[in-house]
Amino acid sequence: MTVTGSILVVDDDPAICLVVGEALRRLGHKVKTASSIRERSLLIDSVDPDVLITDVMLPDGDGLDGVAGILERKPGLSVIVLSAQNTLNTAIRATEKGAFEYLPKPFDLNELARAVSDALGAGNAGEGDQEDGGLPHDGLPLVGRSPAMQEVYRTIARVLSNDLSILVLGESGTGKELVAEAIHSLGQRRTKPFVAINMAAIPRELIEAELFGYEKGAFTGATVRTAGKFEQAQGGTLFLDEIGDMPMEAQTRLLRVLQSGEVTTVGGSKPVRVNVRIIAATNKDLPTLIEENRFRQDLYYRLNVVPISLPALRERREDVILLARHFLDRAAQDGLPRKTLSDDAAQLLMAYHWPGNVRELQNLMQRLAVLSRENVIAADMLRNSLPLDMVPPDYAAPADQLGQAVREWARRQLGIGLGQLNRSLHDDLLAVVEPILLQETLASVDGNQIRAAGLLGINRNTLRKKLNDYGLDPLQMRVAE
């Protein structure tokens, strides 16, 4: 049985308040948000929440200050602490203050939902069952804590309250449709239809009929008037997948619909007013298609109001194990045997290149849930399921070598005596390692800062600032012709 309650979310990042608040509301909770200790103090009595979710670093002080006093006044309250200061000291302080749970940022929404469920006494939330407070199967399906995915989450949060057109970019299998579903299900159009159409899967001569509908007798086989995807999505969201495969003639008509807000069916003469949000997606380089006269530049500008770039799975390896376990949990919820990963299997998953991205990982976990005879999936089982030429036999060696180099450097620095250190060890190490990482990453993508930022898991502005701080010129990092 689902247990719901009243939740107060305190964080000075509006994006976090919006996404967390909407996700918890969809689970049936009543949610209020605040951005400071002062607002928290004003709301704690009037809202009388069952669960308080609070950040540590707030604009007017330490979010942990006052928690003990709140719990003395409200002994039935459960406190969940969030913090980007992912240190042991923060976790200890949260525990000492009486927090029910401590989650380091970046956190996963499913994990937070389970923590809220536990705090409300729903029980057995760790099994991931929807009835125990986890996000539903058709809820927010995006999983990841990497900086690159956190940037995606922030962008999603910023577009929920408006109807701007969105262009989702990324390789096949990265989850572009999941992004569109998340924007729709958390946004202001969530009670209306979500309609998806894949341009690459429809014969060119039928695309206009599918999109705009057709009248009876418009062509052979048109026996009744049929509404197109625009009309089917009325009031909701229309997801145009693989937009780069759309024929030029259909692009022209699509642009006219986006400009006028009216659709005329194939064979019809009377326009129909439509109100839909457009989210398009592609794995192709649209600017290159524009140069080749295969995609309309004016349509590109109309669709690309807010771009969202999804990183390839190899660019966010820290999410691989989280995703793998998520898919194994989903498989168990669907009735397949419950499986776990051994440590050596987890290392092998991290080393793999994942050309098929998240979709490939999902398919692999489902296959192993069926075929593995053991409850624990070992590395040998994985080796039999992955292309051998893509899995290096010494997959753990590079990380081990880097770790040993850092260990020896730290010991040498500490050996000179702490009293003689004039600067932070952390800053000294970054000053040595980070410029090399930036240079090598930019060189690998011929100086392309957008691609380099994606590989590094940071946004482009952060990359530019770091380059400026270190005096690095990206133009000098292009590969010579």
What is the distance between the alpha carbons of residues 195 and 474, in angstroms, rounded to a whole number? 42
CATH class as words, domain 6-132: alpha beta
At 244, the amino acid letter reads G
Q: Is the Cβ–Cβ distance between 356 and 387 less than 8 Å?
A: no
| pLDDT confidence of residue 133 | 34
CATH class as words, domain 314-390: mainly alpha
| pLDDT confidence of residue 385 | 80
Contacts of 201-205 with CB under 8 Å at 24 or more apart are 201/242, 204/247, 204/250
| pLDDT confidence of residue 123 | 34
| pLDDT confidence of residue 188 | 86
Q: What is the pLDDT of residues 150-208, one digit of tens each?
A: 778 778 877 887 899 999 999 999 999 999 998 998 888 989 999 999 999 998 888 99
- The answer as to CATH 3.40.50.300 being correct for domain 147-309 is yes
Under-70 pLDDT residues of the chain: 1-2, 85-92, 122-141, 388-401, 415-423, 474-481
Rg (CA), the chain: 26
| pLDDT confidence of residue 390 | 55
Q: Is the Cβ–Cβ distance between 55 and 80 less than 8 Å?
A: no
What is the distance between the alpha carbons of residues 88 and 426, in angstroms, rounded to a whole number? 17
- Overall pTM surpassing 0.75 (yes/no): no
| pLDDT confidence of residue 38 | 92
Give me the residue spans of the domains in the chain: 6-132, 147-309, 314-390, 412-477
**Alpha helix segments (H runs only) across 200-264:** 207-212, 229-232, 248-260
Q: What is the pLDDT of residues 71-108, one digit of tens each?
A: 988 888 999 988 876 554 666 677 778 888 888 777 77
Q: Which of 19, 301, 12 shows the shortest CA–CA distance to 159?
A: 19
Common-topology check for domains 6-132 and 147-309: yes
Is residue 168 within a helix (H) or strand (E), and if so which, with residue range? strand 166-169
Q: Which CATH number fits domain 412-477: 3.40.50.1950, 1.10.10.60, 3.10.20.30, 3.30.1360.70?
A: 1.10.10.60
| pLDDT confidence of residue 91 | 66
| pLDDT confidence of residue 295 | 96
Name 8's bridge partners.
32, 52
Name 32's bridge partners.
8
What is the distance between the alpha carbons of residues 111 and 53, in angstroms, rounded to a whole number? 13
Contacts of 367 (CB under 8 A, 6+ apart): 385
What is the four-CA torsion angle of 333, 339, 344, 349, rounded to 10 degrees? -40
| pLDDT confidence of residue 128 | 36
Name 198's bridge partners.
241
